[in-house]
């Protein structure tokens, strides 16, 4: 009998969300536990088990499941370990896939959250028929998952696909946590948009802007978007600049793996064409002619609230094409 369900677990800095997913990408039931309250990871797993295992039994027990897929920061597919995740409480190398597999008695696979998003897109989203693509998650930071020939690119050690940390402006804006200067993430993230806003407002005090009505804490990518939609010059320039940086980076990525499509995902994509138009323009002008007018830039079709659980669950389906 074909197994019907998969478990998806998304471990974030404060919360772990988990749910039961069918082959079509419907989340049938979901719940969450805190992920920042347990000194040792075994206690966290016990708490999760107490809520998740009854859900599994409700759906026919482990025999009905292909397994458990997990996404976590610095999650390594090859080793099943979370390695030195800066935003998690458990330090060092945590063999979480093994621990979960033993506790639940189910096949368990792990990868980082950005790779999970790419696998989810391939299983349930807009790349069902695309074998070469890159997903870029534009959230607080910039995550990425690279798919070549229908397979996620993991690299020799499982850590491939850190495109948010590639340098796009030599000597540029310092990153808040890495020591790197001028990385994509320093610009094309919610945090980056806020910084660009502060920079532009400070550097051009003579230009009127609706953004000047907000306190510094209220200056977010959302307020910049609201002002841009009202025709505010600086707010529009901020998205133009963000799209330029993103587009230049995408051009470099295209010349690496020549994907058919790039899928954008995450909070910043709410800006729609305000972001997409300059992104596309600056990607195209920085490509060699053989790559021009070929690469689709798409917004993800997955609901943001569901995507993390879906992506994680997709790890255990056979997604080969």
Q: Does 81 bind a copy of itself (CB under 8 A)?
A: no
Q: Of 1, 206, 290, 318, which one interacts with a copy of itself (CB under 8 A)? A: 290
Q: In the sheet that 27-34 helps form, which strands lie side by side, from edge to edge?
A: 27-34, 15-22, 5-11, 65-71, 108-111
Size of the site for a copy of itself (CB under 8 A): 47
Write the CA distances from 226 to 111, 275, 303, integer angstroms.
35, 13, 21
Q: Does 137 bind a copy of itself (CB under 8 A)?
A: no
> Residue 150: which residues within 8 A CB-CB, separation 6 or more?
122, 131, 319, 320, 321
> Residue 168: which residues within 8 A CB-CB, separation 6 or more?
182, 183, 184, 187, 245, 248, 249, 252
Nearer to a copy of itself among residue 247 and residue 267 (C-beta): 247
Write the CA distances from 7 to 48, 224, 227, integer angstroms.
12, 37, 41
Residue where the block lists tokens 């994680």: 312
Q: Does 83 bind a copy of itself (CB under 8 A)?
A: yes
Which residues make beta-bridge pairs with 5?
22, 65
Please state the closest distance from residue 229 (CB atom) to a copy of itself, in A: 29
| CB-based contact 310:8 (threshold 8 Å) | yes
Q: Is the dihedral of CA 242, 245, 251, 257 positive or negative?
A: negative
Nearer to a copy of itself among residue 98 and residue 178 (C-beta): 178
Q: Does 84 bind a copy of itself (CB under 8 A)?
A: yes
CA dist., res. 136 & res. 264, Å (int):
5
Q: Does 297 bind a copy of itself (CB under 8 A)?
A: no
Q: Which stretch binds a copy of itself (CB under 8 A): 13-21, 59-67, 167-175, 313-321?
A: 167-175
Closest CA to 311 of 99, 124, 96, 80: 124
Please state the closest distance from residue 108 (CB atom) to a copy of itself, in A: 22
Please state the closest distance from residue 48 (CB atom) to a copy of itself, in A: 26
Nearer to a copy of itself among residue 231 and residue 289 (C-beta): 289
Nearer to a copy of itself among residue 69 and residue 161 (C-beta): 161
Sequence-ordered alpha helix ranges (H) in 230-272: 233-257
Cα-to-chain-centroid distance, residue 251: 19
Q: Of 69, 141, 158, 243, which one interacts with a copy of itself (CB under 8 A)? A: 158
Please state the closest distance from residue 117 (CB atom) to a copy of itself, in A: 17
Please state the closest distance from residue 20 (CB atom) to a copy of itself, in A: 32
CA dist., res. 262 & res. 259, Å (int):
7
Task: Give the phi and the psi of residue 250 in degrees, each rounded to 5.
Answer: -60, -40
Nearer to a copy of itself among residue 152 and residue 307 (C-beta): 152
Q: Of 286, 298, 306, 311, which one interacts with a copy of itself (CB under 8 A)? A: 286
Nearer to a copy of itself among residue 92 and residue 289 (C-beta): 289
Q: Does 122 bind a copy of itself (CB under 8 A)?
A: no
Q: Lay out the site mask for a copy of itself across 238-257 (x = CB under 8 A, - = otherwise).
A: ----------x--xxx-xxx
Can you give the binding site for a copy of itself, defined by CB under 8 A? 74, 83-84, 130-132, 146, 148-149, 151, 153-163, 165-170, 178-180, 248, 251-253, 255-260, 285-286, 288-291, 294
């Amino acid at each position: 009998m074909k197994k019907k369900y998969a478990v998806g677990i998304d471990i974030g800095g404060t919360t772990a969300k988990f749910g039961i997913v069918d082959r079509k990408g419907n989340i049938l039931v979901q719940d969450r536990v805190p992920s920042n309250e347990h000194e040792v990871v075994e206690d966290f797993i016990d708490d999760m088990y107490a809520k998740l295992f009854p859900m599994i039994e409700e759906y026919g027990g482990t025999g009905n499941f292909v397994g458990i897929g997990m996404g976590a920061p610095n999650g390594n597919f090859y080793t099943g370990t979370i390695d030195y995740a800066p935003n998690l409480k458990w330090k060092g190398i945590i063999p979480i896939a093994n621990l979960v597999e033993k506790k639940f008695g189910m096949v368990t696979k792990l990868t980082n959250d950005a790779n999970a998003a790419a696998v989810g897109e391939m299983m349930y989203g807009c790349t069902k028929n695309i074998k070469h693509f890159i997903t870029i998650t534009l959230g607080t930071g910039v995550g990425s998952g690279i798919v070549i020939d229908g397979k996620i690119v993991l690299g020799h050690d499982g850590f491939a696909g850190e495109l948010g940390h590639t340098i796009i402006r030599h000597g540029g804006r310092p990153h808040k946590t890495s020591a790197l200067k001028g990385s994509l993430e320093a610009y094309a993230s919610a945090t980056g948009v806020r910084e660009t806003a502060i920079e532009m407002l400070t550097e051009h005090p003579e230009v009127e802007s609706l953004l000047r009505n907000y306190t510094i804490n209220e200056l977010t990518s959302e307020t910049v978007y609201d002002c841009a939609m009202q025709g505010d010059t600086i707010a529009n320039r901020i998205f133009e600049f963000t799209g330029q940086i993103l587009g230049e980076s995408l051009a470099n990525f295209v010349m690496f793996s020549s994907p058919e499509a790039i899928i954008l995902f995450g909070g910043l994509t709410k800006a729609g064409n305000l972001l997409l138009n300059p992104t596309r323009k600056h990607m195209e002008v920085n490509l060699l002619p053989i790559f021009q007018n070929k690469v689709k830039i798409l917004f993800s079709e997955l609901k943001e609230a569901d995507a993390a659980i879906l992506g994680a669950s997709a790890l255990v389906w056979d997604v080969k094409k």
